Structure 1
Amino acid sequence: MLHAVWIPLFDELADPRVVSRLAASAEEAGWDGFFVWDQLWWRPPISAVADPWITLTAVAVATERLRIGPMVTPVARRRPVKLLRETTTLDVLSVGRLTLGVGLGGDRFAGEFSRSGDEVDDRVRAEKLDECLEILTAGWSGETVDHHGKHYLVDSVRFEPRPVAGRIPIWGAGFPGKLKPIRRAARYDGYFPVNLTSSEEVASAVAAVAAERGSLDGFEVVIALPPSTDPRPHATAGATWCLTDFDPSDLRLADVQAVITDGPTR
């Protein structure tokens, strides 16, 4: 199992310089990845929130080995061609270390969609997500993209440069037991069942993905656990990545730094 730091970019962690130093510390302490939340704002008392893409740029420059990425980005609130340029540029800057975590997002956490005029209908956001992923994978291929969809248009455009490895890994997030996110994730490179409560749920998720794909070769199953939680039962159930799950309600820079310095629980 591989281990990653996963942090909300809130308050004391809303400064890209601070986060880049944390990432450098994580690399030195033996972590395998460094992922960040993608939020526009959050519930009080949190007030300061940083942009994930600019922060990840600082992280890419400060590190050499860590796999990095947003975990997860709500794709439906982003323009596909803009996201295509951002992901490719960040992948080139990090020399092929970017993983793109994707999902629908949710309005119930902070009203990010309803309060910004974005789409609140889950089904519509799912349609947009699927279209965007089609555009991204086509654009990363280096071939000319002709996409005339329900929500997006890309009319005979070729995107260069390409990602370092020719494409960027995509991990799809979803709530356990929801079949559509599992099917979406199974078409790509990883599945992140969020809000897990047991290793039995991990095993169920693994079985569901395996049923869709036929094989889990080269596929990641990603879980999030609080710091110091024993990940071994989840690894036995089939998880391949474990993300540290910091509670945003009591997030403190000193606490995050201490967890990072201690290194991953293996």
Structure 2
Amino acid sequence: MATPLRLSTLILPITRWHEGGQRPWRRAEELGLHAAYTYDHLSWRTFRDGPWFGALPTLSAAAGVTERLRLGTLVTSPNFRHPVTLAKELIALDDISGGRVTLGIGAGGTGFDATALGQEPWSPRERADRFGEFLPLLDRLLGEDAVSHEGRYYSADEVRTLPGCVQRPRLPFAVAATGPRGMRLAAQHGQAWVTTGDPKVSATGTAAESLAAVRGQVERLEAVCSELGRDAAALDKVLLTGFTPDRPLDSFDAFVDFAGAYTELGFTEIVLHWPTPDSAFAADEKVFERIAMEAPAQLAG
């Protein structure tokens, strides 16, 4: 039996909490969405010169105004984080939320985060190398009481992480990856795999070409899982929308057609950006809310 599609949202951390910042988190829960995520950046794209708040404090605040909604990052990366300090903060967030946290995590990129601490941007190979060390160490830190590790990039010296996560053996990882090394990490450590599509195809291609490119990603992930003895069907597949040629928020029917095509590829969760006026994520709030409330049932039928 196919897994029912879950709908989630991504809320940009751009509004002061007591000036409306908490509203979308409350409303996301009222709409019955599965999860609400936020970006874990120091600043981001066209929003760089405007307000931008930290991800983990924002999620902690969101935990205080919601009860059932899952919360998480899409995605955290090694660009400005260390596994030891990140693990301690995630354990606290998982406790504050009552075990509702999912960590979206990836290798990072070349944006503002990559140079904000004064370093030169890492090459694609170094990003992959660092991620390959970062994620297994973080896995251990969240699942073991005491951890020591001396690696090429990261170290931990008798680090205590008591009492550990509320979720056992640790909070779930949703690993963003498109290349073979990242997909291997997703298969080894992830409870979910995340994609935004193929950037090369999305830049100039059609919606059909983008769908075909994602189908290829899914097939490569399945091959990696098979090689490692992991059941690919047991790995949730998450699509973060907004980066393909599709326009799923143009109408309710447009979304149903879009989501139907991706559920046929095995996707179990689709994440829509919360409507943000005067941005690339502007959308009709009424259409968004109808999608949130009615689309899952229609797709299930």
Q: Is 153-162 or 194-203 further displaced after alignment? A: 194-203
The alpha-carbon distance between structure 1 residues 94 and 50, as it changes in their structure 2 partners (threshold 3 A), is same
1:192 corresponds to which letter in structure 2?
Answer: V
Alignment counterpart, residue 218 of structure 2, candidates 186, 192, 206: 206
- Is 85-94 or 221-230 further displaced after alignment? 221-230
Q: In the superposition, relative to structure 1, how do residues 113 and 252 fare at CA in structure 2: closer, same or farther (>3 Å)?
A: closer
- Give the equivalent residue in structure 1 for 2:21: 19
Cα gap change, 1:199 to 1:149, in 2 (>3 Å) = same
Q: Aligned with 2:37: secondary structure?
A: strand
Partner of 1:36: 38
Mark the CA change 1:210 to 1:43 in structure 2 (over 3 Å): closer, same or farther. Answer: closer
Root-mean-square deviation (CA, aligned residues, Å) is 2.6
Structure-1 separation of matches of 2:105 and 2:119: 17
Which aligned pairs between 1:24-103 and structure 2 lie closer than 5 A?
A: 24-44=26-46, 46-103=49-106
Shift of 1:255: 5.0
For the 8 Å contact 1:76–1:129, the answer to whether it is kept is: no
List gaps (5 residues or longer) in structure 1.
none
Residue 260 of structure 1 deviates from its aligned partner by: 5.3
More helix per residue:
2
Match of 2:238 in 1: 222
Alignment of 1:1-266 (within 5 A): 1-10=5-14, 14-17=15-18, 18-44=20-46, 46-107=49-110, 109=111, 111-121=112-122, 122-166=124-168, 167-175=170-178, 178-187=179-188, 188-196=190-198, 197=202, 198-214=210-226, 215-225=231-241, 226-227=248-249, 228=251, 229=255, 230-245=258-273, 250-251=278-279, 258=286, 261-264=289-292, 265-266=295-296
* Cα drift, residue 261 of structure 1: 3.5
- Is contact 1:72-1:173 (8 Å) kept? yes
Shift of residue 137, structure 1, vs aligned partner: 1.4
Larger relative contact order (CA 8 Å, sep ≥ 6)? 1
How high is the TM-score relative to the length of structure 2?
Answer: 0.77
- Using the size of structure 1 for normalisation, the TM-score is 0.86
1:75 positional shift: 2.3
**Structure 2 CA distance, aligned partners of 1:67 and 1:138?**
23
